[in-house]
A and B are shown apart, each in its own frame.
Chain A
Amino acid sequence: MEHHEHHIHLTPSEPTHHEDHIVTPGVYLVIGTCLLILTAATAAISYVDLGVFNAVVALAIACLKGSLVVLFFMHIKYSSRLTKLTVGAGFFTFLVLITMTMTDYISRAWGRW
């Protein structure tokens, strides 16, 4: 029905074009299991002394988990270029928020941070 309808109107070069892809339960199960394993890993690693890298590893694992949720549970991997660009723009703006705020605070007591 409307599956064929949208292929008539949109060519693959259109930014809103996307495959009518229904993600299977199998994919969800694999990603969900990965997320649970990564949770156990991040808890376990926090008991190991890595010095300053404890925070780096914890945040890296959190970013990986977040990426899996965004790409597969939120379907971004299967989305149109418009949606992908929107998500990318959001993360860029978030990075600007953190970076610009930090440049302010870091430069206040220069050398004593």
Chain B
Amino acid sequence: MSLIAIIDDDPDIIDASSLVLKAKGHDVITANNPNDGYSIVKYKKPDLIILDVMMDEPDDGFYLAQKFRKEGITTPILMYTSVSKAIGLDFGKSEMVPVDDFVEKPISPEELINKVDALLNIKEVN
């Protein structure tokens, strides 16, 4: 059992993701903006962060990830992306983006579970 934080401004995405993760027995905490997201990570210390790249501003998810790393928070981050790749941004290849994996929206339950499990396993091994 792990604690997973979902930070996304779309309540429907939060809801769908929570349901999938809860069905696999995880506990979920959520935030719908970068500020609240920062707080829940800081104080609830989740095992994994699912972070939307684009919330109030086009790349504020990306800046939040940088902020976590700068403050020494090493929690694995799974980043939700939407059109970033289509418009030419390939975060996956950039070392500037301090996240561990990406999930392209729309999410499929299977892919989400696989990626979450993979990141949690690495964390356990470490």
Are A and B subunits of one complex?
Answer: no
